[in-house]
């Protein structure tokens, strides 16, 4: 995502769209909703099916996607990884999820998720897109977490 974040807004970053190679390398797939990032933000027409539970709150307001919307989705992707592919916002219907996000509520820490990793997820889910980290910053935080001597990550 670091490579594409200044060039493309993916708009559908989730576990279903990540491929894993034999060498355990993740590849981002399904660029069907992607847009070339020329102006900074993009709108999506209302007749396109979108992954609501992965969408940032600003998208519900004005349907504007930016690389910071992809950062939000990355936070949701982290929950999918920790839960071995469970759907985000377990037990919630799509519209309940939308209302919850708009009220500023965030998904609870998944069972077995290290608190330090959940803190990174919460950074991704900040209401103000400008307060969310870049993918470069996320990589730095995740690498630091992996290399912590007492890290709970396996």
Q: Known catalytic residues?
A: 12
DSSP type of residue 131: G
Alpha-carbon span 119 to 100, nearest angstrom: 19
Distances (CA, A) of 33 to 11, 58, 67, 117, 151: 6, 17, 13, 28, 36
Half-sphere exposure of 108 (CA within 13 A, CB side): 6
Distances (CA, A) of 102 to 95, 96, 126: 11, 10, 11
Cβ-count burial of 48 within 10 angstroms (0-12 exposed, 13-18 middle, 19+ buried)?
Answer: exposed
Alpha-carbon span 124 to 147, nearest angstrom: 21
Half-sphere exposure of 2 (CA within 13 A, CB side): 7
């Amino acid at each position: 995502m670091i490579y594409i974040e200044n060039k493309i807004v993916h708009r559908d970053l989730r576990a279903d769209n990540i491929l894993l190679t034999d060498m355990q390398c993740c590849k981002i797939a399904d660029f069907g909703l992607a847009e070339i990032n020329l102006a900074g933000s993009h709108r999506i027409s209302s007749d396109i099916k979108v992954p609501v539970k992965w969408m940032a709150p600003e998208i519900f307001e004005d349907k504007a996607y930016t690389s910071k919307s992809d950062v939000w989705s990355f936070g949701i992707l982290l929950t999918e990884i920790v839960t071995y592919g469970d759907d985000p916002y377990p037990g919630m219907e799509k519209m309940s999820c939308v209302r919850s996000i708009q009220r500023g509520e965030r998904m609870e820490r998944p069972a077995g998720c290290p608190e330090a990793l959940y803190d990174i997820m919460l950074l991704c889910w900040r209401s103000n897109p400008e307060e969310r980290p870049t993918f470069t910053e996320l990589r730095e935080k995740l690498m630091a977490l992996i290399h912590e001597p007492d890290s709970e990550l396996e």
